[in-house]
Structure formats: C-alpha cells, structure tokens
Chain A
C-alpha cells in the first residue's frame, strides 16, 4: 500500500509494519514488567512517583539507579547486537555468518579483558581497540578487489580460534580469583550497569541505528548477487564497507556495556526475517528482537533467588539449543548456503 505523505510517497507493506509494531510493544511491555516487578517489592505508585516526581531513599535507588539503567542498557545492547548480527548475515548472504564467530565479538571481549588485566580499567577503550584490531585484520585480509566473502568467513573462523586461545592464556596467567572474575565477564553480564553505560550505548545507537536502517535499502538489493545489485547502480563494495564499519561499531558498543552475550547476534536476523516474511533483511525487527532477548535474559537472571548468574548464561541457554535446532532443520531443507 502506498502512503502519500507531503513530499514523499512510501511503499508500506502491511506485514512488516505490523511485525515491527508487535515487537516494539512486546519490548515495551517487557521493559515495563522488568521495571515493575523484581526481588525488592515496589508498588506501581512508588515507581511512578520516583520516575516522574522524584524522591529519595532506598526505593529511589532501586528504581532509578538499579532497575532503570539496567533495563535501558539491556534494550540498547540487545538492539545493537541484534542489528549487528542481522547486518552481517545479510551482507554475507548467510544466516550463519554472525559477528560472534568471525572474530569481532571475541575481539571485543578479549580487548576488554586485556585492558582489565593490564590497567584494571578502561574497558571501553579495550573493547573498541580489540574490535578494531580484529576487524582490521579479518576485513583487511578479505579484501581483494572488494570484499571476498569466502575469505572473510574463513579468516574470521581462524581469528575466533586464535583469540579464544589468547583469552585462555590470559585466564591461566592470573590468579584464580581474578580468573573467576574474568570468566564471569567472558559470558556477558548486565550487573552493575549505570547511567554512563546507558549514555554510551544510546548515543551510539542514535548514530548507528539510522545509518543501519539507511543501509537496508542497498542491502536489500544486494541480497541476491552482486551483479544484480551493480546493475541497479548500487556501489557494492562501498556499501559492504559501510555495513562492516557500522556492524563493527555496534558490536564494540554492545560488548562494552554488556560483555559478549552469546548468540544474540546470530538469533535475531533469521527470526526477524521469518516473522516479516518475504526476503527483506528486516533490520529493525532484528534489533527489536535483540532487545527482547537480552531484556528477558537479564530479567530471568535478576529474578533467580539467591544465586545470581550473569545474563549471558541465559542467552546461551535460549540461543544455543535454538541455534542447533535451526541448523538441523536448515540442513534438512538444504538451505544453509
């Protein structure tokens, strides 16, 4: 259906729009639930009062300093990581090609770990540096008259192995208590997030989300083959580079604030595509699904009484089996590449 707005006519398809609306509502609902219910009992009145009027005391701490930033970071990180995953999957034309295993996410987490080890802080810088080094090496060596996708995947897998060895080496070099803290971090956690993390992820998203959505247009055309896209006048190489840069930044930001949450980057793209139907990349829906998954995982992590595991364990529990099931069914249908 064509929506006629002043100056612009937009071709709006019903189903994707409905899907996005539903997902956004779901995310909002989940966020509100997570804000309202937790281990510390609070009434709706109290929460609303602290949110909009202000107050002090422990209740304010729980609402404003603990739950709200944590939820906002979960949504932001989930969107960033889901988006990054969908971007790479679309660009590489393979639902299995996720930044998790072409070395970017491991690069980010290893960089942060190294920064923690060497300086005891500077996690942001470490994550950014790690992602950039990994991305430069992997992308750089995949360039050969444009981005050679096959090369990218293989070098990425090799990078994964090497970086994992580096992280293991680090774990073995420190004393056991520090290793235990590091091991926690290697799984992805939203504990202790504060407003600086919120600012970081949302400022990043403010820039990168529109960029990614704008890139969806050329990406859509590139989904078949390069020739078709070129025929339509799309600068294939330049688009790929922009997609790569956007994806890398999103990954770095996501890891900075939430650690390397397993499988989120992978899951969102295929689910979004399946929901929206058709063959569109469904980037925004993927972002929303990422937000929902991370929010849900963190909420479950928060609610488990007395034994607090990091959110990453739950994204792994959700994502791992799903991934395996998806792979087996895809294999049966012969749809892996």
Chain B
C-alpha cells in the first residue's frame, strides 16, 4: 500500500479518538447506573462516599459493577489492541486473536490446569492461559508463516490450530466430570465474578503488554514502508514479529483468564478503527483499543440487564453477533475479484 497521499488527515483521527472516548465515557456511566436494576444518582453517590458493606445496593455498585466495568474496559482494550497489532503485522484485515486460535490455546491451558491441577478459581487461570496462548500463537505463526505470501495461510493455520485445540479439549472433557462442569461455564466467556483482586493480579501482564504494544506500533509503522526500507533503518523483522506476538499473548492471555474466551472483538474494533486511522499503526492500535473497550463494555452491560436474566455471558454474545458481522465485513472486503 502506498503512503503517498494520506487520505486520513491527523485532524480526522483526533476527532475520531475524541468521539470514541466520549462513547466510552457514556457507556461507562450507563454501565454504572444500569444493570439488573437501575440505580439512581444518589445510590451511586452513597455507594462511593458512604459505603455500607451490609447494603446489597452498595455492594452491587462498588464491588460488582465497578470492578466489572474496569475489567471490561481493560479487557476490551487489550483485545482491540491485539486485533490491531495482528492486523498491522500480518497486513491481513481479518486477523483477530479468536480466529487465529489464540483463545483456543488459552482454553486448552485452562482445561489442562483444571484436570491436572484441580484449579477451579478463574483468578488462578492466568498462567495456564498465558502458556496455552503462547503455544498456539507460536504454532500459528510458525505454520502460517511470516512471509506475506498469502493472507489465507495465516487464517487457515489459525483455524487448524483452533480445531486441534477444540478436539483436545473435548476429548479431555470426557475423562473428568468435574472438568466438564467447570469448563462448560467458563467457556462461555463473561465478566461474571471479576473482582478488584483479580484485576490487580492481572494488571502487571496488561501493563507489560501495553508497553510492548506501544513499542510495536512504532516499529510496525516502519514496516509499512516496506521490508527493505525497514531493514535499512536497522529494524530486525523477526524482532518486530516476536515482540508483537509476545504483546498479543500477554494481552490476550490476561483477558482470557479474566473474562474467558471472547471472540471477534479485536476483529470488529480494528476494522472500524482502520476506517479512521488508515495505515498508521499507532493510531490503528489506539483507536482499536478504545473501540474494543467500548464494545466489551457494551456487551457486558447488555448481558447484565434483567431482560436476559441478568446473566448472558459476553463471550456468547460476541460470538453470536460477531458471526454475521464477519460475513458482512467479508462481503465488503472482496466485492470484485474471485
């Protein structure tokens, strides 16, 4: 892609960023007030300023909704950033951690930790999720190749790894009744049960991932100029790719251990963000992260409403909505040639 005439002037990006941040703020406020039961301003104020641990209302607001909102924002941002990074690195507009099997790898890690180590507390899944993520991502990139020969290759490699992971998981579930019982609720993906402790425990991973993301987005911009140019600038391609992969693993692994496997968020947010950011990887990642936060927050908010029984998991919603959205995106992507 040429960088001659940039159709995305900086002002447009900034406006987009501003608007998205407003959206996030609005959603956050809604998420505080809305839920199984709508709370009023005074309820919120009393929960924050005159917290009464025996009052169910206060506990709902301060210990359930707010950590969940924080989790949704961080997790959504992580997913959005990962999607953008992957898309920028592979120059493939359909890259997404879920499609590339990253979530599936984390799920395998989690299942193994349930059956071998007997861990049933989601807060303790983070290491197994991270290791699982790392293994599958490495496999996918080994197989799918880092040479930009054909975008299909990566996707197919991701699908393959996903299928292998899924088969392994299903076979393991036959061996242990308790694993089945724990896994089948976790796999739906959702921010149910997110607490401050969990967020704090995962924060180091998210922060590390965020730092690497920033570094990568600068490097990826250089790659856009072309591989040769980048090498001339002293950039080692393999290092860029490795760092991106590590960033994605950290971000996604932490998010999956907190919220279970959530698919399509990265894909959708990166796709929309590209409309505003164009080819600039920094802006792509930034806008995608903010949009991802908004998306996950929105999904969680809807899931908490009473009309769905107050317990519709965000992961299920994203999978069911994401499918048609993917179809729509693909139809737009390849409208002309076979």
Contacts and interface: CB of A to CB of B under 8 A. Distances in A.
A and B part of one assembly: yes
Interface of A: 94, 96-97, 100-101, 137, 141, 144-146, 148-151, 153-162, 164-166, 168-169, 171-172, 176, 179-180, 183-184, 186-187, 226, 262-263, 309-310, 312-313, 316-317, 319-320, 323-324, 327-328, 330-331, 334, 336-337
Given A184-B174, A316-B171, A157 B99 contact: yes
Given A168-B188, A171-B184, A159 B160 contact: no
Contacts of B163: 100-101, 160, 262-263
B137 to A, nearest CB: 14
A96 B160 contact: yes
19 contacts: A94-B152, A144-B331, A148-B338, A151-B334, A155-B327, A157-B155, A158-B323, A161-B162, A165-B316, A165-B319, A172-B185, A310-B174, A323-B164, A328-B142, A331-B142, A336-B143, A336-B150, A336-B157, A337-B149
A146 B153 CA distance: 22
A139 to B, nearest CB: 12
B177 interface: yes
Contacts of B338: 144-146, 148-149, 226
Contacts of A145: 338
Contact of A320 (B149, B168, B181, B327): B168
A153 B184 contact: no
Given A164-B166, A327-B143, A330-B143, 17 more contacts: A94-B152, A96-B156, A144-B331, A157-B155, A158-B99, A172-B188, A176-B181, A183-B174, A184-B174, A262-B167, A316-B171, A327-B160, A331-B142, A334-B145, A336-B143, A336-B150, A336-B157
Interface in B288-338: 315-316, 319-320, 322-323, 326-327, 330-331, 334-335, 338
A179 B180 contact: yes
A97 B174 contact: no
Contacts of B158: 157
Contact of B320 (A97, A165, A310, A327): A165
B322 A161 contact: yes
A187 B174 contact: yes
Size class of B's contact patch? 35 or more
User: Secondary structure of the A side of the interface?
Assistant: helix
Contacts, number: 160
B98 interface: yes
Contact of A337 (B152, B263, B334): B152
Contacts of A176: 177, 180-181
Contacts of B316: 165, 168-169
Nearest to A100: B163
Contact of A183 (B164, B170, B330): B170
Interface in B183-230: 184-185, 187-188
Given A100-B163, A101-B159, A154-B330, A186 B168 contact: no
Contact of A101 (B144, B152, B160, B335): B160
Contacts of A151: 330-331, 334
A165 B157 CA distance: 20
A263 B98 contact: no
Contacts of A184: 174
B330 A172 contact: no
B125 interface: no
Contacts of A146: 338
B264 interface: yes
B323 A162 contact: yes
B309 to A, nearest CB: 11
Contacts of A313: 171, 174
A160 B158 CA distance: 12
A156 B152 CA distance: 12
A331 B263 contact: no
Contacts of B181: 176, 179
Given A153-B156, A165-B319, A169-B316, A180 B180 contact: yes
A111 B180 CA distance: 21
Given A183-B174, A309-B174, A141 B330 contact: yes
Q: Which of A156, A169, A317 has the most CB of B within 10 A?
A: A169
Contacts of B263: 161, 165
B81 interface: no
A331 B161 CA distance: 14
B184 A161 contact: no
Contacts of B187: 168, 172
B139 interface: yes
Q: Which of B94, B143, B156, B173 has the most CB of A within 10 A?
A: B156
Nearest to B98: A161
Contacts of A141: 327, 330-331
A163 to B, nearest CB: 8
B155 A337 contact: no
Contacts of B335: 144
A309 to B, nearest CB: 6
Which 8 pairs show the lowest CB-CB distances between chains A and B?
A165-B319, A162-B323, A158-B326, A262-B167, A316-B167, A337-B150, A171-B184, A96-B156
B208 to A, nearest CB: 28
Nearest to A95: B156
